[in-house]
Amino acid sequence: MKSELNTLPAIPAVRDDHILWNQSVKAASMLYHWKLVDGPRIWACFHIGPYALMARALIRCGYGIAILLKDEVFEEQYPMYMQQFKKSFGREPKPTELQFVRSSSSRSLIQLKQLLKRDYHVICYVDGEEGGSGEKGWTQVQLHKTPVNVRMGIALLSHWTGVPIRPVVLTTEEQKLTLRSGEDIYGSDGQQYQATMQYCYNLLGDLSAEEMLQWERLPRLYDKTISIRGATFARPIWLPVYAKEKNMLLDIVSGKYAEVPASQFEKMDSLRKDFSNQFN
């Protein structure tokens, strides 16, 4: 998989909204650099780093965008998008600039198809598990030799509309924005949907450990995959986990939890703090 990687220069330490604004302007300049002027795209994004910048960058380029959201997060994220748009542009978004599609709707793919025909760009979070809970519509990809179940709706949408998919990941390090992108890929017939989704997830294989820690889905992925691991005979590595009214330790080797006396937990937590302070 060929990918493009661009690292933007560090930005002076001003207010957070100014930092995000400057980053979105520079991200927009990258989109211009890629000469994305002919037709819409389906953007395969992940909940990593400042992922909301993609929407702002595309709007800065003058494109209308449609965002696919789960019902569970719609009520929370819709006002956040609206508030951020007003903060960035000083006004409410026009319908030609910003649309939202609920993933649970039976007509969600039809809505997205109609918006793509009207030259909207579509932003989908391929790690967001949009859609129903049944087996239909799911496939499995490999991430660092670990199987991950993912929705494949964007592959179907691309095949159905003829609009290409472009995977994108944004990460930050000390206010430096790094943007990675694969080349355009078109969803083929049903036999190739898995390959399309694997192509999108391959982009995560280029991330450093520090960047992977910016992935909001990483803890959930750990919880899902730890149960399918075989027995391990490696020495345990216990770390304190903060849980309400419980003193819990987690063995990051086996994935097992253990509740311990307060004195033991405090000892482990003190060691953790001492270790962290050595690097601060």
Residue with the two structure tokens 């006396």? 261
Q: Decide: helix, strand or coil at residue 58.
A: helix
120 and 181 assigned to the same domain: yes
Q: Considering the domain boundaries, does residue 106 fall inside one?
A: yes
Query: Which residue among 173, 188, 217 closes a domain?
Result: 217
Is residue 20 within 8 Å of residue 87, measured between CB atoms?
A: no
71 and 10 assigned to the same domain: yes
Strand duo 121-125 + 42-45: pairing: parallel
Number of compact structural domains in the chain: 2
56 and 140 assigned to the same domain: yes
pLDDT in tens, 211-260: 888 898 877 776 665 554 545 566 777 777 777 678 877 776 666 778 88
pLDDT at site 83: 86
Domain that holds residue 40: 3-217
Structure tokens, 47 = 């909940």
Query: Which residue among 196, 217, 238 closes a domain?
Result: 217
Strand duo 176-182 + 165-173: pairing: antiparallel
128 and 254 assigned to the same domain: no
pLDDT in tens, 180-210: 988 999 887 666 899 999 999 999 988 988 8
Query: Which residue among 217, 245, 264 closes a domain?
Result: 217
Can you give the three-state secondary structure of 117-142, one letter per residue?
HCCCEEEEECCCCCCCCCCCCEEEEE
State if pTM tops 0.85. no
Q: Half-sphere exposure of 150 toward its Cβ, with a 13 Å CA cutoff?
A: 27
Q: Considering the domain boundaries, does residue 139 fall inside one?
A: yes
